[in-house]
A and B are shown apart, each in its own frame.
Chain A
């Protein structure tokens, strides 16, 4: 049997209800629109749009990490700092014919690369089929003979590519799972595989997070496999270009190449400034252990703030 509710209680209840309902529409107070929110096999994916910029985010530990962002009107206007840092690779190989991206995300970098180098051959590897679908539907990725996407694990595909004897001028390592790189894409054995794809002249570009102890391990691991490395950027992302060229290029030469490229390609960002600021060679702790398939405590290291 129910007791009849007194009138004031009903009144308070109604007030609370109205108040609650009233709160709901004010929640998305910014102009940000959520275009997609989806749980894939690997990630909690969001695609959001604000002021003509779309972002692909992976949620981990309650944080939505920006994995990709694209200015819909002009993708060449980079929306994430690390994109232009990755482009620094070009001063180490100014006319690439074949490039590989490990970690497609929204596909912003391949799309922009194609704009500046219309005949370039671009392969990309992406773990998550849902992410490939996002790149197609929300970021405008179009696949054809010179723009191919391979779905699956980066290391598995790279091993196959090595076996097939493929060669790339530039390999971009940009596989992130919401803030961190899967450990098997950081080890010496992995870098040795990539080394076989780029040969002696090509370069590997790694997008790293400098804030954690793992950063020094990753730099040392790269140094254990490649003769030369240069770093670009400082705060939240550092992109490291590594190669095995017998004669490492001087900073002056790199700057000169940057100016020339800037003139030719008219990049929407300032490549010479980026090279002038960056191209550092020993900006990490060179002494210490490296990461191998046998010993790679990357999950622990990335929780330790950098000394």
Chain B
């Protein structure tokens, strides 16, 4: 029970952080590439590409190593990928801009460098969570559906609250570090829950 609950919380939290990050991504790239529709297109595209790769990798990993520890590792890695985003986003974006590519391809490249790693890793969570919670063949669709719903409700809240309130209350960089801390927190929580139940 505790284990399932921890998996649900991880799914919810990683959905939240992923979409919060997507809103922040627009703010991070606008100073370099403008607040143009291309920039938003690049960002959304990169997150979706990252997610689709993550779904595959998460599925494969859940087959090879179906353990909650896998999830803990993924969360730590995802937190790690946010460190360069928080520290060097403007520096990286400006570096890419100087390649002289058009705004479209430049913003796509910068978005890819910055946000592909975290979105791939966070995309791995959902299939992994399905594997860990599924008990019987007949209920696999149900648990997958419920977990996707949980992840997407998390995404909804992360998206709305970041855009409506957090950007007013905190700086972009602070919010990125909160996200990284949040992922570390989720990882530690999941590890604790697993250690307790497997004892």
**Chain B residue with Cβ nearest A189:** B31
Within 8 A of B (CB), among A279-298: 292-297
**Chain A residue with Cβ nearest B174:** A294
Does B1 reach chain A (CB closer than 8 Å)?
Answer: no
Does A59 reach chain B (CB closer than 8 Å)?
Answer: no
> Once the chains are docked, how many angstroms separate the CA of A156 from the CA of B90?
13
Assess the B172–A293 pair: CB atoms within 8 A. Answer: yes
Assess the A182–B31 pair: CB atoms within 8 A. Answer: no
Residues of B within 8 A of A155 (CB): 30-32, 34
**Chain B residue with Cβ nearest A187:** B31
Residues of A within 8 A of B27 (CB): 293, 296
Count of CB-CB pairs between chains A and B under 8 Å: 54
Could you mark each residue 164-205 of chain A with 1 if its beta carbon is under 8 Å from any beta carbon of chain B, else 0?
Answer: 000000000000000000111001011000000000000000
> Once the chains are docked, how many angstroms separate the CA of A127 from the CA of B38?
12
Whether A183 contacts B36 in the complex (CB less than 8 A), given A153-B103, A293-B172, A294-B173, comes out as: no
Assess the A152–B172 pair: CB atoms within 8 A. Answer: no
Q: Interface on chain B toward A: helix, strand, loop, or mixed SS? A: helix
Could you mark each residue 87-113 of chain B with 1 if its beta carbon is under 8 Å from any beta carbon of chain A, else 0?
Answer: 000100010011000010000000000
Does A98 reach chain B (CB closer than 8 Å)?
Answer: no
Does A5 reach chain B (CB closer than 8 Å)?
Answer: no
Interface size on B, residues (CB 8 A): 21
Does A159 reach chain B (CB closer than 8 Å)?
Answer: yes
Assess the A184–B37 pair: CB atoms within 8 A. Answer: no
Q: Size class of A's contact patch? A: 20 to 34
> Once the chains are docked, how many angstroms separate the CA of A144 from the CA of B168?
44
Does A42 reach chain B (CB closer than 8 Å)?
Answer: yes
Could you mark each residue 124-141 of chain B with 1 if its beta carbon is under 8 Å from any beta carbon of chain A, else 0?
Answer: 000000000000000000
Assess the B35–A182 pair: CB atoms within 8 A. Answer: yes
**Chain B residue with Cβ nearest A300:** B168
Within 8 A of A (CB), among B21-52: 27, 30-37
Residues of A within 8 A of B168 (CB): 297, 300
Some 19 contacts from A to B, beta carbons below 8 A apart, are A42-B37, A127-B36, A152-B34, A153-B34, A153-B35, A153-B36, A154-B34, A155-B31, A156-B33, A156-B97, A183-B30, A183-B35, A184-B34, A184-B35, A189-B31, A190-B31, A293-B31, A293-B90, A295-B172
Q: A156-B33, A159-B32, A163-B98 are in contact. List 11 more A-B contacts (CB 8 A).
A: A127-B36, A152-B36, A152-B103, A154-B34, A155-B31, A156-B32, A156-B103, A183-B30, A294-B171, A294-B173, A295-B171
